[in-house]
Amino acid sequence: MNKTYAFSSTQLSVGYAGKTLIKDINIRLEQGQILTLIGPNGAGKSTILKSITRHLEPISGTVYIDSAQIHTMSAHDLAKRLSVVLTERIRPEMMTCYDVVASGRYPYTGRFGMLSDHDHGIIRQSLARVHAQDIAPRDFLKISDGQRQRILLARAICQEPEVIVLDEPTSFLDIRHKIELLDILLDMSRQKGITVILSLHEIDLAAKISDVIMCVKGDRITCAGSPQEVFQKDTIASLYDLTQGSYNVLFGSVELKRPQGEAELFVLSGAGCGIPFYRALQKQQKPFYAGILFENDVDFAIADGLAAEVFYSPAFTPISDEVVEKAKAALLRCKVLLHSGVPILGMNQANEILLETAKAHNIQIVRELP
């Protein structure tokens, strides 16, 4: 017997005017899971979302909510089960923010569209969920883009859906409201069992909120799985064609390209002390060496993407004589040793050898960038 999912698609192909852009899209989501689509601009994320919400006719394949095919549902019934926040800007004339949110109740109001006290209670709750009670009386067309995004989310919540679909919902929001919106979605999924499907450009946020990630590029889904499976250095580099920078797995962020040229500065670092100097040198486009580090050191995660060369040992193992000699050879090619302030004790005492080498060869030792 086939398992029934809260939301699923089978061999879905999407596109425009009968032309397939992306094929073989298979989605399987449990109740309350969050799926995020990531990928470069123009990859087709919005096309997928419009196709699974009936804003576009799929080329082929089937979309289900539970065991029901969405193309067999009436618009009225579908609106009770699925709500949508797309990127297109709506322009309702002479409507307050409260009116816009209230429109999410119309699937429940009957043919005369009369709102009950129960409906008004849900509208107020939905406004409160997105912290928008203060702008409820205002003209929807006279508020900011970020405020509009929150009102449209409140309207979607007001529908009391089983599934909510959002296309780039954080696009117009500042960092505070990005976090608030994603917290709302996470709360809806975990506490109310609402299944969430969205697209995001901020891959660091996608890693934090999602149960499932789908990578969209070319004519198919190139990779799908848990954030731990998808957010790998090579996977993200391939997805976004990163040639001038790199993806940092530990921090979930993209690093700018490493400085080019011959390094004349060695950063003695570790325990997070080197990171501010790495970033400052990258901004100044000054190549540098970094070490001696351990692979599990937080400094290593950044130095690996920015330094001309990193001298390191595997985690929890003594620093070998070979690594020390390679680091000394690099230091002797430098004019400056920058001591980041890393404590030198225990297993990283090999760094004391670098300090002594610098002193013996009159290499300038500094604690601030020259």
DSSP 258-295: PPPS---EEEE--TTSSHHHHHHHHHTT---EEEEEET
Give the span between the Cα atoms of 316 and 326, in whole angstroms. 20
Per the DSSP assignment, residues forming a β-bridge with 16 are: 19
- Mean pLDDT of all residues in 292-319: 94
Query: Where a domain ends, among 215, 246, 277?
Result: 246
For residue 150, being part of any structural domain is answered with yes
- Averaged over 20-40, what is the pLDDT? 96
Helix (H), strand (E), coil (C) string for 4-52: CCCEEEEEEEEEECCEEEEEEEEEEECCCCEEEEECCCCCCHHHHHHHH
- Distance CA(327)–CA(313), nearest Å, equals 11
Q: Is position 48 within any domain?
A: yes
How many independent structural domains does the chain possess? 2
Based on the fold, state whether residues 224 and 307 are members of the same structural domain: no
The verdict on residue 1 lying in a domain is no
Judge whether 143 lies within some domain: yes
Q: Residues 293, 238: one domain? A: no
Same structural domain for residues 180 and 200?
A: yes
User: Which region among 34-38, 132-136, 242-246, 281-285 has the lowest average model confidence (pLDDT)?
Assistant: 242-246
Assess whether 149 and 172 both reside in one domain: yes
Same domain, 310 and 202: no
**Least confident residue range of 176-185, 192-201, 210-219, 304-313:** 176-185
299-312 pLDDT, tens digit each: 999 999 999 999 99
Domain boundary at 246, 273, 308, which?
246
**89, two tokens:** 């800007």
Q: What is the pLDDT of residue 78?
A: 94
The CATH number of whichever domain residue 281 belongs to comes to 3.40.50.720
Predicted confidence band of residue 1 (pLDDT cuts 50, 70, 90):
very low
Write the pLDDT tens digit of every residue in 137-146.
999 999 988 8
Instruction: Give mean pLDDT, residues 76-81.
Output: 93
* Among 227, 246, 265, residue at a domain's last position: 246
pLDDT at position 355 over 80 = yes
Assigned domain for 88 exists: yes
Same domain? For 262 and 206 the reply is: no
Question: In terms of domains, do 229 and 286 share one?
Answer: no
Domain shared by 182 and 299, yes or no: no
Residue 2 lies inside a defined structural domain of this protein: no
Straight-line distance from the first to the last Cα atom of the chain, in angstroms, rounded to the nearest whole number: 70
**Is the predicted pLDDT of residue 115 greater than 80, yes or no?**
yes
Asked if the model's pLDDT at residue 91 lies above 80, the reply is no
Which pLDDT tens digit goes with each residue over 272-287?
A: 999 999 999 999 999 9
Check if the beta carbon of residue 228 is closer than 8 Å to that of residue 211: no
Q: Could you tell me where the beta strands, DSSP code E, fall in 68-139?
A: 68-69, 82-85
Tokens, residue 79? 């609106």
Same domain, 181 and 296: no
What range does the domain containing 235 cover?
7-246
pLDDT at position 367 over 90: yes
**Residues 271 and 130 placed together within one structural domain of the fold:** no
pLDDT at 10 over 50: yes
Separation of alpha carbons 112 and 367, rounded Å = 74
Lowest mean pLDDT across 55-64, 168-177, 204-213? 168-177
Please write the tens of the pLDDT for every residue from 233-260.
899 999 999 888 888 887 887 888 899 9
Structure tokens at 316: 């929890």
Q: Do residues 41 and 21 share a domain?
A: yes
pLDDT at residue 2, as a whole number: 64
pLDDT bin (cut points 50, 70, 90) of residue 54 is very high
Residue 125 domain-assigned?
Answer: yes
Strand, coil or helix: 238: helix
pTM: 0.84
Mean pLDDT of the chain: 92
> How big is the chain, counted in residues?
370
The pLDDT, as a whole number, for residue 250 is 79
CATH number of the structural domain spanning residue 109: 3.40.50.300
Q: What are phi and psi of 33, to 5 degrees?
A: -80, 155
d(CA 122, CA 150) in angstroms, rounded, equals: 16
Q: Is residue 73 domain-shared with residue 121, that is, in the same domain?
A: yes
